[in-house]
Structure 1
Amino acid sequence: MSLATTLPFPEPAAGRIPGNKGIWVGIFCELTEFALMFIVFFLARAHNPEAFHDGPARLATSAGVINTVLMLSSSYFVARSLGAIRHNRPRHTLYWLGGALACGVGYLIVKTIEFAWYGEQGINGSTGVFFTTYYYLAFNHLVHVGWGSLGILWVMARTWAGAYSPEDHEGLEAFACYWHTIDLAWLIIFPIAYVWH
C-alpha cells in the first residue's frame, strides 16, 4: 500500500497553486498589512522595553489561549472540509464548515468579552504604547476573523447549492487559504503580545 492511498483525502494536482490568483493578491496585501504592524510593534518594543515587559501581564492570557485553540481548531475543520469535498461528500463538508464557523464566532465572542474586560480595568488604546500597538494588532485581526466568518457562511451556502465538486472547488480552496492566513497571523500575535515579556 502506497503512502498516497493512506492519506485522508486526495492530493491536489502537482504544481497547482490552491485557490485562485485573486485570493493570493488579497493574502499578499493582508500579509503586508500585518508585516507593517509587526514592524511597528517591534520598533515600539525596542524603544519602550519596560512598557513591553509589563504590558503582557495585564492582558487576559486565558482569553488568548482560548482564542488560540479556537483558531487552530477552525483551521483543522476547514482543512477537513476540503478533504470531504475532494471525496464528493458535500454534507460532511457542511459539517466541517459549521465547526469552523462555530470556532470563528467563538473567537469573536471571546475577543469582545476580553475587550470589555479591559475597558472595565481602565485599559484602552491610549493606556500606553504597548496597549496602543496591541489594540492595533488585535482589533485588526478581529476584523479579519469577522470577514472570514462571513466567508464561511458564503462557502457553506455555495456548498449547499452544489457549487463545489471533487473536480471544481476552487472557491472553497481560496477561502481555506485566506482562513489559514488569518490563523497564521494570530499564531504570531498571541506569543508576542501575551507571552513575551
Structure 2
Amino acid sequence: MDTSPINSSLGIFPSSWSEKRAGRIPGNIPIWVGILSELTEFGIFFIAYFVAKYNYPEAFSEGPQSLSTITGVANTVVLISSSYFMAKAMANIRKNNLKGCEKFLWLAFFSGCLYLCFKTWEFHWNDVQGFSTNSSPFFTVYYYMTFNHFLHVGWAACAILWVIFRLKKGAYSAENNSGMEALAVYWHMIDLMWILIFPLLYVLR
C-alpha cells in the first residue's frame, strides 16, 4: 500500500485513493463517497416529492403553472452547456493543452454563475408573486429541492476557481489530472440532478 501522505493530483488525499488504484473509475474514491452522499440526499428529496404529490395532487397540478418555465428552461440550457465545457476542459488537459483547459474551465464557471443569477432572479420573482415555502405543499418541496441544488452549484463553482488556480500553478497535466477529473464528475452529477428536478417541478402536472 502506498504510504505517501500527499498526491499533487488529489491535493489532500493519499495517492492510494487515486483512480489508478481503483481501476478506471473517473476521479477518486473520496469524490465518489461524496457523490453517493449527495445522491442519497437528493433521493430523499425525490421521495418527499412523490409522497407529497400523492397526498396533495391538486397543489402539485397547479404549482408548476405558477413557476417561470422560461427561467427553468434557461437554467437547464445553461447547466447542460456547463457540462459540455467541463468535458472539453478534461479533453484538453488530457492533450496537455493547458490554455484550452483553462478557457473551458472559465466557461464552465461563468455558466454556473449564470445559473445562480437566473435562480436568484427566479426566487425573487416567486416572492413578488407571493409564493413562499408556506404557500402550498408544492412550494415547500420546490424551495427545499431547488435551494439545496442552488447551494451545490455555488459550492462547485467555487471549486472550479480552486482548480483553475491549481492549473495555473502546474498541478495538472495529461498524466496527472485526477483532482480535476473528480471535480468534473461532481459537476456532471449536479447537472444530472437538475435534469431530474426540472421536469418534476416545471413540467409534470
Q: TM-score, normalised by structure 2?
A: 0.89
Matched letter for residue 175 of structure 2: E
Cα distance, 1:61 vs. partner? 0.5
- Asked if residue 66 in structure 1 is aligned to residue 74 in structure 2, the reply is yes
- Asked if residue 23 in structure 1 is aligned to residue 31 in structure 2, the reply is yes
- Asked if residue 151 in structure 1 is aligned to residue 159 in structure 2, the reply is yes
Matched letter for residue 50 of structure 2: F
Q: Which residue of 1 aligns with 2:183?
A: 175
Q: Which residue of 2 aligns with 1:99?
A: 107
State the aligned residue count.
186
Cα distance, 1:15 vs. partner? 4.3
CA–CA separation in structure 2 for the residues paired with 1:29 and 1:19: 16
CA–CA separation in structure 2 for the residues paired with 1:56 and 1:64: 11
Instruction: List alignment gaps of at least 5 residues for structure 1.
Output: 1-11
Matches within 5 A, 1:1-197: 15-197=23-205
Q: Spell out, residue by residue over 1:167-193, the C-alpha distance to the aligned partner (whole angstroms, 9 max, x if none).
A: 110010000010000001000000000
Cα distance, 1:160 vs. partner? 1.1
% identical aligned pairs = 51
CA–CA separation in structure 2 for the residues paired with 1:76 and 1:64: 19
CA–CA separation in structure 2 for the residues paired with 1:145 and 1:160: 23
CA–CA separation in structure 2 for the residues paired with 1:111 and 1:121: 15
Q: Which residue of 2 aligns with 1:5?
A: none
CA–CA separation in structure 1 for the residues paired with 2:159 and 2:33: 17
Q: Spell out, residue by residue over 1:47-71, the C-alpha distance to the aligned partner (whole angstroms, 9 max, x if none).
A: 1111100000000100100000010
CA–CA separation in structure 2 for the residues paired with 1:151 and 1:37: 24
Instruction: List alignment gaps of at least 5 residues for structure 2.
Output: 1-18
